[in-house]
Amino acid sequence: MEGGILATCEDGLLRLQSLGCAVEPTALGTSPQAVWQAWLVWRRALVASRLAPFLVNPQQRQHIKPEALWEYDQAATLSGTELLAASAQRSHFYQHMLGLLAQFDVLALPCTQVWPFDVEQRWPSHIHGVEMDTYHRWMEVVIYATFAGLPCISVPCGFNAQGLPCGMQLIGRPQGEAALLQIAQAYEEAVQDWLQITPSQIAR
């Protein structure tokens, strides 16, 4: 996480507390690396299947961005065994998330690991001196709801000293969209002061 992200999200948690919510810190409780590796396998398989029709002619490769081609080429060596292992890991992770959601109504996480960056920057290659080993590692924090197939909503939680915005994600129970939207609506009413602020202009 870049500096200030967690502190800003904690401000959002304080607003939830002001609504009467009990906010408790908790750990994921399972290996983030195992979840990440399983997600990578699923992503490669899904991206490759979607790109395949556009790559029937090899000359079309020049029209596809390098990151997408990397996913496609990685999937070419993907084995059935790897896909089955990733599927088993996903099922395990889903059950684990159900266990957490039996304890909590909603799980809260930052919805970003970096502050908004210049449009000329393709993607963040480092965070706090840590090199990103893939082009999407800097977005790792958003994979959990998607990978578990859980409803999720992003809500604003303030700005840094430069006026750049930050948000956090609220993750709900399976088929719990209505309850999640109710919490988000109450939260939105409690952060009207933030919603009236215009974020700093970002390079376009």
- Tell me the DSSP string of 168-199: EEEE--TT-HHHHHHHHHHHHHHTHHHHTSPP
Please give the pLDDT value at position 202. 42
pLDDT over 60 at 204, yes or no: no
Q: What angle do CA 78, 49, 174 make, to 5 degrees?
A: 90
pLDDT digits (tens, 9 = 90+) for 176-200: 999 999 999 999 999 999 998 877 5
Hey, what are 131's tokens? 């090199």
Q: What angle do CA 162, 127, 82 make, to 5 degrees?
A: 140
**What mean pLDDT value characterizes the chain?**
93
Give the residue-averaged pLDDT of 2-26: 96
3-state secondary structure of 97: helix
CA 89 to chain centre: 18
Please give the pLDDT value at position 86. 97
User: What pLDDT band is residue 203 in, cutting at 50, 70 and 90?
Assistant: very low
Contacts of 42 (CB under 8 A, 6+ apart): 86, 90, 147
- Range in 29-43, 68-82, 94-108 the model is least confident about: 68-82
What's at 21, amino acid-wise?
C
For the entire predicted model, the pTM comes to 0.90
Please give the pLDDT value at position 181. 97
DSSP element (H, E) containing 152: strand 152-159
Helix axes 177-190, 5-18, angle to 10 degrees: 100
3-state secondary structure of 190: helix
Please give the pLDDT value at position 28. 93
Max mean pLDDT among 74-78, 79-83, 194-198 falls in: 79-83
pLDDT digits (tens, 9 = 90+) for 82-139: 999 999 999 999 999 999 999 999 999 999 999 999 999 999 999 999 999 999 999 9
Answer whether 34's CB lies under 8 Å from 89's CB.
yes
Query: Taken in order 156, 34, 75, 66, is the CA torsion positive or negative?
Result: positive
